[in-house]
Amino acid sequence: MNAQTTFRVERWTAASRIAIGVVVVLAVIAAVAPFWLGPGAMDRLTILFVYIILAVMWNALAGYAGLVSVGQQLFLGLGAYFTIKLADWGVNPFVAMAGAALIVGIIAVPLSFPMLRLRGGEFAIGMWVVSEMAHLLVNLDPLVKGETGTSLISLNAFDAPLRRNLIYWLALVALLVLLAALFALLRSRVGAAIQAIRDNEEAAASVGVRVTSTKRLIFVFTAFGVAMAGALWLATALTFQPKAYFSVQWTAYMIFMVLVGGIGTFEGAILGAVIFFAIETWFGATGVWYLVGLGATALIFALVLPRGIWGAIERRTGLRLLPVGYRLEFKLPGVKP
């Protein structure tokens, strides 16, 4: 390189500008949707938002922090449980949802200290055991009435259409806030730290990246996000049967979404959630073979296309819709860019 070569550090590309524009437009459309969508469609959209949150959160933990957890249903269940508790104490149900997510986030901090010392499969199953433990403890609460469960009764105070709209908007807002927060995180120094840890943890530590703190941040953040999703699910389903929330099936869904969409990429998780939503809409009613299909698809993707659909697209085209990385653009004198 001679002294006349200059280069620029770019964060945005044409594609990413378009993509962000599209996201904004979609968000606006989604926000006004309640005014022209029927109740069934709104319920489904709310569920889609919940799935996207779950996928993005699981992806953040596995793809960015490198931690595969087979026990994220822990936070889902606790999010729903604390919502019930708070509502029972007279808190407005919507405030209770946010509050529950916050409580779970706080619980996740001390939990992270022992759990982050585990690696690989031990962490995965360790989280599952903690989830089972939480399930058992929640069952002990008389409010929950064991496996019969209870409901978010105070929501009934709102009449149905208003309730549906409020839940929808809350879900949309939660989704956008979580996505925005994660996006900001990835663009910040933490994002660079995440990338370094992914590439080579030891090397990252040796240049001063605070590995455990970074992982802890992601662990707590995803706990918060999944808890929020649990609270939202409770709001749409109204009933709280511990068994349905603390089920490892949720992890199966999250793994499917992220593996098929693309692990470690923002866009991939969203894509995976949309695909899962579509499949569930069409095939969910066919019973248990649907689950076999999910598991088999996850297995096949893990073996054949571990980077998921988005990963494959990204690899082929270099397409990055969300500007979370850095690009180096060279300007050589006399050469057209």
* Contacts to another protein by CB under 8 A: 62, 66, 68, 70, 114, 117-122, 124-126, 128-130, 132-133, 136-137, 139-140, 248, 251-252, 255, 259, 263, 287-289, 291-292, 294-299, 302-303, 306
User: Smallest gap, in angstroms, from Cβ of residue 25 to another protein?
Assistant: 34
User: Smallest gap, in angstroms, from Cβ of residue 307 to another protein?
Assistant: 9
CB closer to another protein out of 128 and 277: 128
CB closer to another protein out of 18 and 136: 136
User: Smallest gap, in angstroms, from Cβ of residue 34 to another protein?
Assistant: 36
User: Smallest gap, in angstroms, from Cβ of residue 106 to another protein?
Assistant: 19
CB closer to another protein out of 129 and 238: 129
User: Smallest gap, in angstroms, from Cβ of residue 78 to another protein?
Assistant: 16
3-state secondary structure of 328: strand
CA dist list (Å): 309 to 48, 219, 305, 313, 315: 19, 25, 8, 6, 10
Asked if residue 153 lies in contact with residue 234, where contact means CB atoms within 8 angstroms, the answer is no
Q: Which two tokens stand for residue 296?
A: 């088999």
CB closer to another protein out of 191 and 264: 264
User: Smallest gap, in angstroms, from Cβ of residue 253 to another protein?
Assistant: 10
CB closer to another protein out of 39 and 295: 295
Rounded to a whole number of angstroms, the CA Rg of the chain reads 21
Q: Which two tokens stand for residue 148?
A: 């019969």
List of residues 6+ apart from 272 with CB closer than 8 A: 55, 59, 256, 257, 258, 259, 260, 261, 262, 308, 309, 310
User: Smallest gap, in angstroms, from Cβ of residue 177 to another protein?
Assistant: 28
Q: Which two tokens stand for residue 173?
A: 């807002």
CB closer to another protein out of 102 and 125: 125
The angle formed by the CA atoms of residues 283, 285 and 288, to the nearest 5 degrees, is: 85
CA distance between the termini of the chain: 16
The separation between CA 130 and the C-alpha centre of its own chain, rounded to angstroms, equals 20
CB closer to another protein out of 2 and 148: 148
What is the C-alpha to C-alpha distance for residues 81 and 245, in angstroms, rounded to an integer? 9
For residue 100, the number of C-alpha atoms closer than 13 Å in the C-beta half-sphere is 32
User: Smallest gap, in angstroms, from Cβ of residue 215 to another protein?
Assistant: 11
What is the C-alpha to C-alpha distance for residues 261 and 55, in angstroms, rounded to an integer? 9
CB closer to another protein out of 139 and 150: 139
